């Protein structure tokens, strides 16, 4: 595995928002309206561009969800769209 390298720094706003630096957005092909995934590995947070999958199918593929949790996630997704 390659050595980690700091590409740029960001800052969290009072609303908990972060700006992904322009060069990183350009490299990853991320633009306004795209969804991203925050993945935790130990003390690290990994940010990835989300594929065109629904949030529910993404969560179901990474962890088992109860029927109630799945319905809640579908409701959140519908409200977000």
Looking at residue 25, which CATH number applies to its domain?
2.10.260
> How confident is the model over 6-65, as pLDDT tens digits?
778 888 899 999 888 888 888 888 888 888 888 998 998 888 888 766 666 666 566 555
Same domain, 46 and 58: no
3-state secondary structure of 46: strand
Residue 77's domain comprises: 52-81
Whole-model pTM?
0.49
Q: How many C-beta neighbours within 10 Å does residue 56 have?
A: 19
Q: Is residue 2 part of a domain?
A: no
3-state secondary structure of 49: strand
Same domain, 69 and 40: no
Q: Is residue 7 part of a domain?
A: no
Same domain, 33 and 43: yes
């Amino acid at each position: 595995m390659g050595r980690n390298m700091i590409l740029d720094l960001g800052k969290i706003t009072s609303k908990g928002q972060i700006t992904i630096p322009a060069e990183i957005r350009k490299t990853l092909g991320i633009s306004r309206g795209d969804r991203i995934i925050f993945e935790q590995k130990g003390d690290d947070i990994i940010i990835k561009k989300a594929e065109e999958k629904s949030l529910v199918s993404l969560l179901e593929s990474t962890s088992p969800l109860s029927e109630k949790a799945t319905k809640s996630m579908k409701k959140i997704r519908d409200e977000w769209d």
